Amino acid sequence: QVQLVESGGGLVQPGGSLRLSCAASGFTFSVYTMSWYRQVPGKERELVAAISSPGGRTDYVDSMKGRFTISRDNAKNTVYLQMNSLKPEDTAVYYCNARAKVFFREYEYWGQGTQVTVSS
């Protein structure tokens, strides 16, 4: 079965860093666009960063450029989000997303999320 399992979240002080990981299984990881989203209670889930298949292009939300870096290791079926200079407003549940079009069908998968809390 398809699984996306996030890890690496936790409590960090403002200005600190975390690296999130998303381990994928059950699908052909290398052909999927991988993304990180985040969500706080009462707000819509928002895109953080995306990386193309097989990994030649990355895109970031403007507010996160220069602080966050998305990368992927197709041999390990894993996508990462390196988060630096964290701010309290970065506090959210971070979700891993996989998306692809295969022939005329769309495939999309979500992880369960990992909590990131930025606080003194």
- Tell me what the mean pLDDT of segment 86-114 comes to: 96
3-state secondary structure of 30: helix
Q: Give per-residue pLDDT as tens, 102-113.
A: 889 999 999 999
* pLDDT over 90 at 90, yes or no: yes
Task: Tokens for 11, please give them.
Answer: 């409590």
Phi-psi region of 10 (alpha: psi -120 to 50; beta: other; left: phi over 0): left
- What is the distance between the terminal CA atoms of the chain, rounded to a whole angstrom? 40
What pLDDT was estimated at residue 63? 81
pLDDT score of 65: 81
What is the radius of gyration, based on Cα positions, of the chain?
14
- Sign of the Cα pseudo-torsion (55, 38, 65, 68, in order): negative
Percent of the chain with pLDDT over 90: 91
Which residue in the block uniquely carries the two structure tokens 């398809």? 2
For the stretch 16-59, pLDDT in tens is 999 999 999 999 999 999 999 999 999 999 999 999 998 889 99
Burial class (CB in 10 A: 0-12, 13-18, 19+), 81: buried
Q: What average pLDDT does the chain have? A: 95
Tokens representing 72 are 């992927």
**Least confident range of 8-17, 18-27, 59-68:** 59-68
Q: Is residue 64 over pLDDT 90?
A: no
- Amino acid identity of residue 93, one-letter, is V
Count CB-CB contacts under 10 A for residue 64: 19
**Residue 102: its pLDDT value, please?**
84
Q: State the average pLDDT over residues 72-80.
A: 97
